[in-house]
Structure 1
Amino acid sequence: MTTQVPRAHVRAEVALPLALDDGSTTVARMVSFHGLVDGREHVALGLGPAGSHPPLVRLHSECLTGDAFGSRRCDCGPQLAESLLRITAEGGWLLYLRQEGRGIGLYNKLDAYVLQDLGLDTYDANTALGHGADERDYTVAVQMLDALGVRSLALLGNNPDKADQLVAAGVEVVRRVPTGVHLTEDNARYLAAKAGRGAHALALPVLET
């Protein structure tokens, strides 16, 4: 870990029984932390066989609408469900980061939805509200990984910015593992913006009409 990033420490670990999307169950190791630079309550879930080298790691930004309510405006819920399954099979960590709306917060994200309904894409809606297109900073993820003893990993996800920020902070990304494409009629514009504007690794098929 680079000297520019303050050290964090494991606060507590608790067993968390989970029901997975394929109908199976598992027990995660849910970890909280002291000393995270933004003061938020981020958590890590250890899943699958311990000691996998490199561990499969997903940095998942909180999405109340998608993760909890099953919103089809985004692909966050399906990505979370897929990640839990894949990490359970291979062994690794899911870092659940409290960065709603690409870091702008829940209410601002809902305001951005209003602008999206008027024709703006997901990035332009954020900037129209006076925010950055993507305000997420993954320093806390670096702190969490260091506290967990993870120095190298396979990164599960399609967002190149996550890998770039980890590598810049001294974390070795051995390989990048894409998630699936969870395309629906409701999130097609959103995913197209992520692929075109955010350079996410998404091979989008054409939806039949």
Structure 2
Amino acid sequence: TIVTYVRQPYLIVQSQIKIKFDNAYLCFMNQFLQNNTSKITNEIVETIEKSFLYLIEFIKFKNKLKDQSILTHIFSEDFNEKLIVLNRKTTDYFIELQKTYEDGLKNIDISSLKEILDFMHKWNLLLMKMKNIVRIHNINDIVVNSMMKAITDLTIYSHMLHNVSQKIQELEDEFIYQQLINKETIEFSQQRDKFYRKLNDKFFILDKTKLQ
């Protein structure tokens, strides 16, 4: 039971905590996860970074006081529910980014790779800061563990760019040094047609890299 004379200050603090959490939650969800931002500025990156850091601090605070009844009086009723949504959507978002990159690299899908590289370049500063925050705070909470892992596992932009460039270079080398007269092109028309189709596919991919 809350003593009457402290009830008003308590309600004010509770309201401020709720507003702070909701603002951080909505900012991160809307401006980053839903990508409702047309132009990325340093100010936007700093705002989202601050929101993410606030969310991390709320999670740490929850962990510190876990199993204590005071939490039910401090946080709003939907606090845990929002953390679950945050974890699920952030996890899905980062896993999808990583999958898009890996599939694009495996299939040498130039359009897909360009799209993911553009995105990673645009958000590179924020993503690096988020990775750093996760590393520094090292939170172990079943509610957000998958989110933390997904952020940590995302390949950074510089490595993506290096791997894509290397893949394209390998394809160029393979194309340049490919012998047009070989066992496949001499013996059977079916094998020959298949060989030239593959060669044409490689040329098409390389041609697309020049157009991007």
Q: State the TM-score, normalizing by the size of structure 2.
A: 0.22
TM-score normalized by the length of structure 1: 0.22
Larger-Rg structure: 2
